[in-house]
Amino acid sequence: PGAPVPEALDKAGIQKVIDDFRRATVRARDAGFRVIEIHGAHGYLLHQFLSPISNQRTDEYGGDFENRIRLTVEVTDAIRAEWPEKFPLFIRLSATDWLDGGWDIEQSIELARVLKTRGVDLVDCSSGGIAPGAKIPVGPGYQVGFAERIRREADIATAAVGLITDAEHANQIIADGHADIILLARQMLRDPYWASHAAKILGAATRPWPVQYQRAAD
């Protein structure tokens, strides 16, 4: 209640979305960025098309799996056309909606297989966000299983995310082959030098501190 009422995009609106992603890619490339991540999770537009809960369209962008993934695939193609092949392209997916009849891990695996053929290099495996009422078993590493399944069954690199705050835990996820990288957000806000502290805890042979800070670090 009180939230804006969604309005279905017409064909021109869908094409504008695709063109906007393409133009954003050109700006990122020309600005010197070297990695792009497409946000297809957490109830944002691409996720709204993917999930049967939110996608009630009756045209070629709604209904069965192939139709619901169509916009994500077209956006990916538009981005990859402008993004140099040597630079990685990631996508963040909500691997499951945590709701009956919603997007789920099996569909995420199948989408990952498709996107790999379109030039996506890594799937960032998150979850939820499409609708209220989802019962999510939140805890450290609660989404790691999604990264492991997509990595194994779609044969694509994955990132594990979600309440991973401990260096040993992060390292074990990689050592066990459940994901290829760990992505952190809130923990890096709490501790901007988390990576340096983790390197020390894990005994990595590195000098990660900025040279201006080195006297304090030694």
Q: Is 213 a catalytic residue?
A: no
Instruction: Give, rounded to a whole angstrom, the gap between the first and last alpha carbons of the chain.
Output: 55
User: What are the Cα distances from residue 38, in Å, to 46, 80, 200, 218?
Assistant: 9, 11, 32, 39
How far is it, in rounded angstroms, from Cα 11 to Cα 160?
35
Tell me the torsion sign for CA atoms 57, 58, 61, 62.
positive
How far is it, in rounded angstroms, from Cα 218 to Cα 209?
10
Question: Are 25 and 79 a contacting pair, CB within 8 Å?
Answer: yes
* DSSP letter for each residue of 172-192: HHHHTTS-SEE--SHHHHH-T
Burial environment of residue 5 by CB neighbours within 10 A (0 to 12, 13 to 18, 19 or more): exposed
User: What are the Cα distances from residue 177, in Å, to 82, 157, 162?
Assistant: 32, 10, 17
Amino acid present at 124: D
Among residues 44, 61, 142, 193, which one is catalytic?
Answer: 44
* DSSP letter for each residue of 35-52: -EEEEE-TTSHHHHHH-T
User: Catalytic positions, please?
Assistant: 44
